[in-house]
């Protein structure tokens, strides 16, 4: 084997090693710390390419990030093959482009500066990506610790991008140690820096975990998991009233378990769904919908029996010609179903193509018909500008995130900022089958609990439903693809964390610094070009 081929083989092996290491925390529980070394092989591969004069590295970085995307999010294919292909290719393209910018910066700067630039540009991208119309932030680096919550209790100060910063800095310093292994004095400083960087956040987090005490302020919740197959039964195999019967049977069992007078019952996303125009859930007259009438009637009867019960149920509802993926809050104020006064929250982080069409307006309007044909139909749900909070008896103020919304930390915090003292998540994760997808989605809710110090009740149609406390511990959970319910108490919390109040400061600062770094890079490029003349 020639020297050139040997170097190429080493480069590819190192790049693929990073793919495996990046994937492990998303697949194997309690392995978040692996992410602190996961990028080191890719940095070594790039250094080897740089030293050997290899000009083209984009395809190596692209392959490395693509394998990571495929291993961790392959399950998207089961829900939407075209969407999965788009997510894999476009998400990978952005990651590889960031690594290409890092290589470009190396031409005009020396030492550790290009690595600092890579850290900043990556954080700026993670922050910005969560606010774009086309977004898939599932693999934000800080999400690596979603099952290693004892290591990241300080997310209440920084949010999940604090974890991304920790991962990037640690990987860069370990890479530096390897490069300086023959230089005694600099390597001692780097080793000491890495030790502090790993140990200090970890020890701080374990102290926070051990000392954090929830203020006793219990509220009762019942979480329903009707387990209606989204492929066979949800939209055809069972009619809506059959599904409603299953749900109300579970609600009755769960409510009988709870002895307290006041209780909030949660049902999953899009539970009420009727295609017939005359019986669709119209927000201005919901009683036209038979499922709504049945559920509202049960809520009313519970309250007439002396047990104050309100309910949050997912629904596809309409207001005029616009339709929404909604959470409907039902709270009775009289002795009949007609006296139930509903409140609505409309899902506002929509799944691209399935729930929103980013190509219907603007410069890419020409792609509307193309993607419609590929996707087999595009949703066009409405949204709302604010994160509204439902107010139940006993001072319970509930924020309700619908499915995908629980992935967005800076977005999710707005419920706590608007007064929610407890959170709920309603979802339907059955589209992904029994894959890592539904487990990752559950564990991301644990990060939201830590960031805002809010307990979370989670209702998932096919599982996993759960109660999560303010430290991110799962207190109770159902099995996957099982019909059942959870009944218990969660503590309310009125205090707002630093992250809740100030949001993603790391991301916003990184966007500003990335702009300055890019200006510096272009200035040095022009200066180098001028000097060469």
CATH number of the domain that residue 416 is part of: 3.60.110.10
At 109, the pLDDT band (50, 70, 90 cuts) reads: confident
**Tokens describing residue 116:** 């600092």
Place of tokens 């590929």: 374
pLDDT of residue 374: 46
Is residue 397 over pLDDT 50? Answer: yes
Place of tokens 């007064």: 419
Cβ neighbours of 28 (radius 10 Å): 12
Quick one: 226 and 86 in the same domain? no
Integer Cα distance of 109 and 118 in angstroms:
12
Listing DSSP states for 412-450 in one string gives HHHHHHTT-SEEEEEE--GGG-SSHHHHHHHHHHHHHHH
Please give the tally of structural domains in the chain. Answer: 2
pLDDT of residue 17: 98
340: which DSSP letter? E
Is residue 335 over pLDDT 80? Answer: no
**Residue 77 is assigned to a structural domain of this protein:** yes
**Residue 146 is assigned to a structural domain of this protein:** yes
pLDDT of residue 54: 82
**Residue 89 is assigned to a structural domain of this protein:** yes
Supply the range of the domain harboring residue 37.
3-212+504-532
At 376, the pLDDT band (50, 70, 90 cuts) reads: very low
> pLDDT (tens digit, 9 = 90+) per residue, 406-463?
999 999 999 999 999 999 999 999 999 999 999 999 999 999 999 999 999 999 999 8
> pLDDT (tens digit, 9 = 90+) per residue, 115-128?
999 999 999 999 99
pLDDT of residue 526: 78
pLDDT of residue 369: 54
Cβ neighbours of 188 (radius 10 Å): 12
**Mean pLDDT (whole number) for 97-108:** 92
352: which DSSP letter? B
**Residue 67 is assigned to a structural domain of this protein:** yes
pTM of this structure: 0.93
Integer Cα distance of 303 and 293 in angstroms:
15
Listing DSSP states for 267-330 in one string gives --TT-B---SGGGSEETT-GGGSHHHHHHHHHHHHHHHTT-EEEEEEEEEEEETTEEEEEEEEE
**Mean pLDDT (whole number) for 371-399:** 80
Q: Return the minimum-mean-pLDDT range out of 361-375, 384-398, 400-414, 433-447.
A: 361-375
52: which DSSP letter? T
Quick one: 313 and 415 in the same domain? yes
pLDDT of residue 527: 72
Quick one: 202 and 223 in the same domain? no
**Residue 403 is assigned to a structural domain of this protein:** yes
Is residue 475 over pLDDT 90? Answer: yes
**Tokens describing residue 59:** 């395809």
Quick one: 264 and 201 in the same domain? no
Quick one: 486 and 509 in the same domain? no
Quick one: 422 and 485 in the same domain? yes
**Mean pLDDT (whole number) for 186-203:** 90
Q: Which of 282, 294, 289 is nearest to 320 (CA)?
A: 282
**Mean pLDDT (whole number) for 268-281:** 85
> pLDDT (tens digit, 9 = 90+) per residue, 482-499?
999 999 999 999 999 999
> pLDDT (tens digit, 9 = 90+) per residue, 501-527?
999 999 999 999 999 989 988 887 777
**Residue 499 is assigned to a structural domain of this protein:** no
Integer Cα distance of 263 and 457 in angstroms:
12
Quick one: 309 and 250 in the same domain? yes
pLDDT of residue 36: 98
Sign, Cα dihedral of 294, 297, 298, 299: positive
Q: Pick the more confident residue, 376 or 98.
A: 98
Quick one: 301 and 421 in the same domain? yes
Name the pairing type of β-strands 281-282 and 308-319: parallel
Quick one: 168 and 95 in the same domain? yes
Quick one: 233 and 172 in the same domain? no
Quick one: 54 and 198 in the same domain? yes
Q: Would you tell me the crossing angle of helices 505-532 and 81-106 to the nearest 10 degrees?
A: 50
pLDDT of residue 458: 98
**Residue 373 is assigned to a structural domain of this protein:** no
54 neighbors 11 (Cβ within 8 angstroms): yes
> pLDDT (tens digit, 9 = 90+) per residue, 78-98?
988 888 898 999 999 999 999
pLDDT of residue 531: 58
Quick one: 225 and 206 in the same domain? no
Percent of the chain with pLDDT over 70: 93
**Mean pLDDT (whole number) for 238-251:** 95
At 375, the pLDDT band (50, 70, 90 cuts) reads: very low
Q: For 520-533, b where at least 16 C-beta lie within 10 A, e where not — what string?
A: ebeeeeeeeeeeee
Listing DSSP states for 126-168 in one string gives HHHHTTSSS--GGG-GGGGGTT-GGG-TTHHHH-HHHHHHHHH
> pLDDT (tens digit, 9 = 90+) per residue, 149-188?
999 999 999 999 999 999 999 999 999 999 887 666 677 8
**Residue 353 is assigned to a structural domain of this protein:** no
pLDDT of residue 373: 46
Integer Cα distance of 419 and 397 in angstroms:
7
- How many helices (H) and strands (E) the chain has is answered by 16, 13
Is residue 365 over pLDDT 80? Answer: no
Q: In whole numbers, what is the pLDDT of the chain averaged over residues?
A: 91
């Amino acid at each position: 084997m020639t020297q050139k081929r040997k170097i190429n083989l080493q480069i590819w092996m190192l790049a693929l090693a990073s793919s495996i290491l990046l994937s492990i925390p998303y697949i194997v529980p309690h392995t978040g710390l692996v992410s602190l070394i996961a990028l080191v092989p890719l940095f070594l591969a790039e250094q080897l390419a740089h030293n050997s004069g290899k000009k083209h590295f984009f395809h190596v970085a692209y392959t490395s990030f693509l394998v990571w995307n495929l291993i961790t999010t392959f399950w998207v294919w089961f829900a939407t093959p075209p969407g999965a292909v788009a997510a894999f290719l476009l998400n990978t393209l952005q990651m590889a482009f960031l690594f290409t910018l890092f290589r470009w910066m190396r031409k005009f700067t020396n030492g550790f500066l290009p690595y600092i630039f890579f850290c900043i540009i990556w954080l700026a991208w993670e922050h910005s990506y969560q606010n774009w119309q086309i977004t898939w932030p599932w693999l934000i680096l800080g999400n690596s610790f979603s099952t290693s919550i004892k290591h990241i209790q300080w997310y209440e100060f920084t949010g999940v991008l604090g974890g991304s910063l920790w991962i990037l800095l640690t990987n860069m310093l370990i890479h530096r140690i390897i490069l300086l292994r023959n230089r005694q004095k600099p390597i001692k400083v780097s080793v000491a820096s890495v030790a502090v960087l790993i140990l200090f956040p970890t020890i701080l987090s374990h102290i926070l975990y051990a000392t954090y005490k929830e203020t006793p302020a219990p509220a009762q919740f019942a979480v329903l998991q009707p387990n209606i197959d989204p492929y066979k039964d949800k939209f055809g195999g069972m009619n809506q009233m059959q599904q409603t019967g299953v749900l109300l049977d579970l609600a009755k069992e769960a409510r009988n378990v709870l002895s307290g007078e006041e209780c909030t019952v949660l049902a999953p996303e899009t539970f009420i769904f009727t295609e017939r125009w005359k019986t669709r859930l119209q927000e201005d007259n919901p009683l036209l919908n038979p499922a709504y009438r049945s559920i509202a009637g049960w809520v009313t009867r519970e309250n007439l029996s002396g047990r104050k019960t309100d309910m949050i149920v997912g629904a596809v509802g309409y207001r005029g010609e616009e339709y929404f993926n909604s959470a409907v809050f039902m709270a009775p104020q009289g002795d009949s179903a007609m006296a139930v006064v509903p409140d609505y929250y409309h899902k506002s982080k929509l799944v691209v193509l399935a729930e929103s069409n980013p190509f219907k307006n603007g410069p890419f309007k020409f792609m509307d018909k193309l993607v419609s044909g590929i996707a087999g139909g595009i949703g066009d749900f409405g949204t709302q500008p604010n994160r509204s909070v439902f107010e139940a008896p006993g001072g319970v103020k509930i924020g309700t995130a619908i499915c995908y919304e629980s992935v967005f930390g800076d977005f999710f915090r707005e419920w706590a900022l608007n007064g929610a003292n407890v959170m709920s998540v309603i979802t339907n994760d059955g589209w992904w089958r029994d894959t890592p997808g539904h487990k990752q989605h559950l564990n991301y809710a644990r990060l939201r609990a830590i960031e805002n110090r809010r307990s979370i009740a989670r209702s998932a149609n096919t599982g996993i439903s759960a109660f999560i406390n303010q430290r991110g511990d799962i207190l109770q959970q159902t099995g996957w693809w099982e019909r059942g319910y959870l009944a218990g108490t969660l503590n309310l919390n009125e205090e707002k964390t630093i992250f809740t109040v100030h949001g993603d400061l790391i991301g916003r600062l990184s966007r500003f610094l990335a702009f300055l770094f890019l200006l510096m890079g272009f200035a040095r490029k022009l200066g180098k070009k001028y000097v060469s003349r």
